[in-house]
Amino acid sequence: MAVATLRGMVGRREAGVGESIVIVDPADPRLADFVGLRDAALRRRVEHERGVFIAEGRLAIEALVASGYEVRAVLVNEKARRRLAATLAHVVAPVYVVDDAVMAHTVGFDLHRGAVASAVRPADTVQPVAAVVPETARRLLVCEGVNDHENLGALFRNAAAFGVDAVLLDATTADPLYRRSVRVSLGDSPDAVLMRGGSAIVSPLGKVLAGPNFEGETILTADLDLAEIGRGKFDFDAAGHYSRPDVFQLIVNEQPMSAVIAKP
C-alpha cells in the first residue's frame, strides 16, 4: 500500500482540479463514513450512528450535489476526481483523494467507479401525506414490502421516467437511501420525497382522500367519485384501451410435455 513512503502527504492540500485532501492511510478517521460498504450489518450501524447515506459513482454523486441534501465528504481516486471536476467545484465538503489500494481497503472491495460520497441522512419523521405530496400530484407509486434494494432503486428510476409525482413506502420496504438503491436509481432517490407509509385512501386520479394513519388499527372514510374511475383510465388502463390483442398475444401450450426428449 506504500503507506510509509507517502506518509508525509497525509492531509496535504493539492492545488489543481478543485481543492482536495490526499489521504494515504486507510485507518484515517476522516474516512469513517466509507468503511465496509458491502457489510450490510456494519453499514446499518454506521449510517444510523453517523446519520449518513452513501452515493456511489459519478451519476449518483452528480445528482446528490444537485439535490438539496448536505454532502459530508467525497472519496475519489485521481481519475474520478478529474472526471468529476465540474461537480466537485460546487462541493463545500472535503474531497479525499486516495489511491486504489487505500480505496479498496476502506470500502472493502475494488471500487471500479472510483468515487463515493456521503451525505446527511434526513431524520425519520412522521408527516401526513398532504404535507409532503403536492396537491397537484396525479401519479403516486406506493411500495409495500419491497425488500430488495436494487429492485427498489429500479422502481425509483422507472418512477422518474413515467413522471410519478411522489413515492410512498411502507415500514416493511427497504431503505431507499441504501447505497445499492441509490446506485441503481442513478441518483433519482435523493430528489424524491420520502415518507414511511401508513394506511390511506387514494383516488383513481392519485389524490389522497384520507390518511395516512400511523397509530394502529383504524377505519378511514372518504367520499368517492366513481366517475373518476373512467377518467383515471385515460392515464393507464391495462385491461382497457391499453390492451392490444391485435399487437400482443399470450399463447399457452396446454399439451403435456416430456422433461427429456431423446433424439436419434
- 239 assigned to some structural domain: no
Amino acid 225: pLDDT:
86
CATH code for the domain of 12? 3.30.1330.30
**Which pLDDT tens digits describe the chain residue by residue (264 residues)?**
222 222 223 333 343 334 689 999 999 999 999 999 989 889 989 998 999 999 998 888 988 898 878 999 999 999 999 999 999 998 999 999 999 999 999 999 998 889 999 999 988 766 777 777 777 888 888 888 898 888 898 898 888 878 888 888 888 888 888 888 888 886 444 444 444 456 778 777 777 788 777 666 788 888 888 888 777 766 655 555 555 666 767 788 888 777 676 666
For residues 4-31, one letter each, b for 16 or more C-beta atoms within 10 angstroms of the residue's C-beta and e for the rest, the string is eebeeeeeeeeeebbebbbbbbbebeeb
In terms of residue numbers, what domain contains 51?
7-120
Three-state secondary structure call for residue 76:
strand
pTM of the complete model = 0.61
- 261 assigned to some structural domain: no
- Kindly state whether residues 13 and 94 are assigned to the same domain: yes
- Kindly state whether residues 104 and 146 are assigned to the same domain: no
Separation CA 41–CA 140 (nearest Å): 31
- Kindly state whether residues 185 and 89 are assigned to the same domain: no
Question: Whose grid coordinates read 468515487?
Answer: 115
Amino acid 40: pLDDT:
86
Question: Whose grid coordinates read 413515467?
Answer: 162
CB-based contacts of 111: which residues, under 8 Å, 6+ apart? Answer: 37, 56, 103, 104
- Kindly state whether residues 148 and 196 are assigned to the same domain: yes
- Kindly state whether residues 74 and 144 are assigned to the same domain: no
Amino acid 234: pLDDT:
67
Amino acid 115: pLDDT:
95
- 240 assigned to some structural domain: no
Residue at a domain's end among 74, 95, 120 = 120
CATH code for the domain of 199? 3.40.1280.10
- 26 assigned to some structural domain: yes
Angle subtended at Cα 89 by Cα 88 and Cα 95, rounded to the nearest 5 degrees: 45
- 2 assigned to some structural domain: no
Q: Please state, in angstroms and as integers, the Cα–Cα distance from residue 224 to each residue in 91, 140, 209, following that order.
A: 48, 18, 9
- 62 assigned to some structural domain: yes
- Kindly state whether residues 158 and 89 are assigned to the same domain: no
CA atoms within 13 A on the CB side of 17: 15
- Kindly state whether residues 114 and 138 are assigned to the same domain: no
Amino acid 126: pLDDT:
64
Separation CA 24–CA 61 (nearest Å): 22
- Kindly state whether residues 157 and 92 are assigned to the same domain: no
- 69 assigned to some structural domain: yes
Q: Please state, in angstroms and as integers, the Cα–Cα distance from residue 166 to each residue in 11, 43, 88, 119, 229, following that order.
A: 42, 27, 29, 21, 20
CA atoms within 13 A on the CB side of 51: 8
The DSSP code for 36 is T
Domains held by the chain: number: 2
> Nearest-CA neighbor of 13 among 114, 99, 102, 95?
95
Angle subtended at Cα 116 by Cα 156 and Cα 85, rounded to the nearest 5 degrees: 105
- 1 assigned to some structural domain: no
Amino acid 28: pLDDT:
95
Amino acid 166: pLDDT:
84
